[in-house]
Amino acid sequence: MEKYLQVSEAQRVVLESVATMGAEQVKLEQSLGRVLAEEVRANRDQPPFDISAMDGYALRSADLASVPAILEIIEDIKAGDLPSKTLVPGQCARIMTGAPMPQGADAVIRVEDTEAKPDNQVQINQPVKPGNDIRRLGENMRNGEVVLAPGTAITPGVIGVLATVKRAQVQVYRRPRVAILSTGNELEGLDEPVDPNKIPNSNSYALMGQVQALGIEPVLLGIARDDPEELARYLKRGLEYDVLLVSGGTSVGVHDYVRPTIEALGVQMLFWRVSMKPGHPVAFGKIGAKIIFGLPGNPVSSMVCFEQFVAPALRRMMGHARTYRRTVEARMTHNVKHQPGRTEFIRVLLAKEPGGYAATSTGAQGSGMLLSMARADGLAVVPGDSAGLAAGGTVTVQLLDGTFFQDDAGFGE
Amino acid sequence: MEKYLQVSEAQRVVLESVATMGAEQVKLEQSLGRVLAEEVRANRDQPPFDISAMDGYALRSADLASVPAILEIIEDIKAGDLPSKTLVPGQCARIMTGAPMPQGADAVIRVEDTEAKPDNQVQINQPVKPGNDIRRLGENMRNGEVVLAPGTAITPGVIGVLATVKRAQVQVYRRPRVAILSTGNELEGLDEPVDPNKIPNSNSYALMGQVQALGIEPVLLGIARDDPEELARYLKRGLEYDVLLVSGGTSVGVHDYVRPTIEALGVQMLFWRVSMKPGHPVAFGKIGAKIIFGLPGNPVSSMVCFEQFVAPALRRMMGHARTYRRTVEARMTHNVKHQPGRTEFIRVLLAKEPGGYAATSTGAQGSGMLLSMARADGLAVVPGDSAGLAAGGTVTVQLLDGTFFQDDAGFGE
């Protein structure tokens, strides 16, 4: 039999085998979820001058030595205006958030702390310190300063920063091109009529969804029958892409002809088995800069292997530093049986409870039970050497797609 | 002054004002992230017959009353084959994962527990119970059974289930059409040359990214100057969409003409102020089934308000039950000052530590500090009535985009 790698060993082998893709230029509007391949610098001071942080009055703080104080309003300054006057003692200017400070002023008081008076006057009810509620020239960024480093994942906030420095186009790492191939005589294509003796091809589509969730549009190559020549033809086509996912073909039986077919194409296989449940017949190889994954034919196994090995590889190729699924600690609500040996991934539902999360198995964990994967919020990880988990014990849970939002706000006021 | 709503009150007002959009049909390939608008039923039994869960031998468990036992191999059954023979005592069939069980067999033993012998014989080294490693007809789903309910968010696992029941097209809730308008004389468009006296329009693009992150492609209407007629023209155009986001125009000063302009268009404004920091000048209104948000001009305030109010509204309109950002509990690594009053959202970095997460402020929390929003992993929520947080205390953190993956696997073996 093949050597069984630990999950962490197999993850290391995969990540050591992939490199970040080359760079390409995209429009800012198409940059979300990509990773910066260039250093981005500020193109001016931000703010470009001292501005007010509040709607209120720009004034001389020394005029408020005793309050209440009555000041004369000599100007109205809106954002986008340039102030035309200089304040002398006893004067102030009405000012809007974001508007430039007038000469002579050294502080802002917000409108809530004032009272309007007749004859262009205002009563100020409390003193302020010099600098109060002023946003200083260059406070956010200095002209020429590096504001974003290569490797920065482009989130909405990063898009805002890129717009601030007027980058309508940015250099990002290219996304790998991904092809998906299913294998097996038993499989029935999505567009084929129902044959009661066949099994619908669900894996290609679940994998498609997993790849799409990473921001990559994969190509579905279809179904290769259990025939070495047909398989070789499909594999050759698949190896035109950066990443090839082959579903099925790694179990002991079909392995006999899949392995020589793959190796005859020049693919260097780095592992065929990982000590995990579900999913142990998972294989990985490379040919030049291209990589190929052999994923189990069982739908749940295939999806679990994707999350542990394929997603980290694709994320790394896209330039992401964060390659692994977000985890949270949770309280297991029931006992979990486990024979020491393989690392086990249990589909769980998560419920919030005081102090954190409670995890409960979705029920039967058979690797054909795709519905339970569809319902799951996460995968609870039972370490290989565990003799089982007791109810109430803490378990690490990988958060799956669909859990980025929750039913309630989750905080009190 | 306007009444200040609590964050939770404002969220309730928003969610009570929106309804789920109508349904539309999309291809399975385009369904990720959408929400099912129909009930989906199984179109056959899955599996369609009893199949083997392992690569091994299908046999009669009674033949293993004493082991080791030698059995005759009468057939090879691969997935996709139909077995042609019936086992009698002393016989077995070699069988692959997913292949149909032959007549006469009542169990499978995996190949690892056997030894090949000459003359088409195999030695079985341990007994098995009837039913061992068989996946039963209909075990995953029964023909006609409801497998997915309306309101199910379409994740990769759900796509797999839809492919299993041969749904190449599905009914999903329509996505709201969203328009984004920025207001202010001080703003400089992304494609305009740099003017040292202006402020670049970053809000439209940060909001664009936030909308895109929810799976919706918004339309950017551009910048309306501080002029009631121009604003009215832009607002009219924006109200052709299901949702209009207006950035700027809610602070006290501009409020004076924005409010009558909006109300003159027939918009019923439901609030103008929320007791939160940053972000209190946030407004919300509706006109028929359309909704309009007035978001603060400060970039961070705008993004924080989007997460609390706009994202839940858009998610609800798309049919999602989960409308609020995922939260985790974290240990605050330092003291946080807070004056009792408004609910405060502090941009934080998260670090994993034994038992959970540690949260640390990104630094200066000025509402113009977009870079700190770009760097943040989450928003720590300081309740309005809090007199401040002590280092080591627990805080609820909303996870922001970019945190669905992490640097390390996060579990041991």
Model pLDDT for residues B159-168, shown as the tens digit of each residue: 999 999 999 9
Tell whether the torsion through CA atoms of A362, A363, A368 and A370 is positive or negative. Answer: negative
Q: How far apart are CA A101 and CA A135, in angstroms?
A: 9
Provide the whole-model pTM. 0.94
Structure tokens at B300: 């961070």
Between residues A61 and B364, which one has the greater pLDDT? Answer: A61
Residue B253 has pLDDT above 70, yes or no: no
- Cα end-to-end span (Å), chain A: 59
Give CA separation, A277 vs A293, A347, A367, B56, B399, in Å.
17, 11, 9, 18, 30
Q: What is the reported pLDDT for A317? A: 98
What averages of pLDDT result for each successive group of 10 residues across chain A (413 residues)?
Answer: 85 97 98 98 92 93 94 92 94 92 96 93 95 92 94 97 96 98 92 90 97 98 92 96 89 68 93 90 94 92 96 98 96 95 96 92 79 94 94 96 94 85
Interchain contact, A405 vs B326, CB within 8 Å: yes
Q: What is the reported pLDDT for A254? A: 56
Q: How far apart are CA B79 and CA A199, in angstroms?
A: 9
Q: Among 2.40.340.10, 2.60.40.1890, 2.60.40.10, 3.40.50.2300, what is the CATH number of B327-399? A: 2.40.340.10
Interchain contact, B253 vs A355, CB within 8 Å: no
Tell whether the torsion through CA atoms of A85, A91, A95 and A100 is positive or negative. Answer: positive
Q: What is the reported pLDDT for B246? A: 95
Chain B: closest CA distance from residue A92 (Å): 16
Q: How far apart are CA B10 and CA A165, in angstroms?
A: 33
- Own/partner pairs, B260-265, CB within 8 angstroms, 24+ separation: B260/B228, B261/B228, B261/B231, B261/B232, B261/B235, B262/B235, B262/B292, B262/B294, B264/B232, B265/B232, B265/B235, B265/B236, B265/B239
Question: Hey, of B219, B247, B344, B404, which one would you mutate to test binding to chain A, going by the most A CBs within 10 A of its CB?
Answer: B404
Interchain contact, B208 vs A159, CB within 8 Å: yes
Q: Quick one: which H or E segment has residue A394?
A: strand A394-399
Question: Hey, of B154, B155, B322, which one would you mutate to test binding to chain A, going by the most A CBs within 10 A of its CB?
Answer: B155
Q: What is the reported pLDDT for B355? A: 81
Question: Out of B159, B206, B404, whose CB is closest to A404?
Answer: B404
Phi, psi angles (nearest 5°) of residue A263: -70, -30
Chain A: closest CA distance from residue B265 (Å): 25
Residues B208-222, mean pLDDT to the nearest whole number: 98
Please state the domain extents for chain A: 7-21+175-317, 23-46+140-173, 51-135, 327-399
Give CA separation, B2 vs A115, B59, B284, B308, in Å.
16, 79, 13, 20
Q: What is the reported pLDDT for A1? A: 47
CATH fold, domain A51-135, is Molybdopterin biosynthesis moeA protein; domain 3 (2.170.190)
Interchain contact, B186 vs A370, CB within 8 Å: no
Query: Average per-residue pLDDT in chain B?
Result: 93
Residue B295 has pLDDT above 90, yes or no: yes
Residue B396 has pLDDT above 90, yes or no: yes
Name the amino acid, one letter, at A296: P
Within 8 A of A183 by CB-CB distance, chain B residues are none
Q: Which CATH class is domain B7-21+175-317?
A: alpha beta
Q: What is the DSSP string of A313-373?
A: HHHHHTT-S--EE-EEEEEESS-B---SSSEEEEEEEEEEETTEEEEEE-S---TT-HHHH
Within 8 A of B77 by CB-CB distance, chain A residues are none
pLDDT band at B1 (very low <50, low <70, confident <90, very high): very low
- Residue percentage of chain B with pLDDT more than 90: 81
Q: What is the reported pLDDT for B254? A: 56
Interchain contact, B410 vs A327, CB within 8 Å: yes
Contact B61, B134 (CB under 8 A): no
Q: What is the reported pLDDT for B384? A: 92
Strands A56-59 and A91-95, sheet pairing: antiparallel
What pLDDT, in 10s, does the model give residues B167-191?
A: 999 999 999 999 999 998 889 999 9
Domain at B23-46+140-173: CATH architecture: Alpha-Beta Complex (3.90)
Q: How far apart are CA B238 and CA B246, in angstroms?
A: 9
- Cα end-to-end span (Å), chain B: 59
Residue B104 has pLDDT above 80, yes or no: yes
What pLDDT, in 10s, does the model give residues B14-60?
A: 999 999 999 999 999 999 999 999 999 999 998 889 999 888 999 99
Phi, psi angles (nearest 5°) of residue A163: -65, -35
Q: Which of B139, B29, B230, B114 is nearest to A300 (CA)?
A: B139
Q: Which of B166, B107, B93 is nearest to B135 (CA)?
A: B107
Residue B108 has pLDDT above 70, yes or no: yes
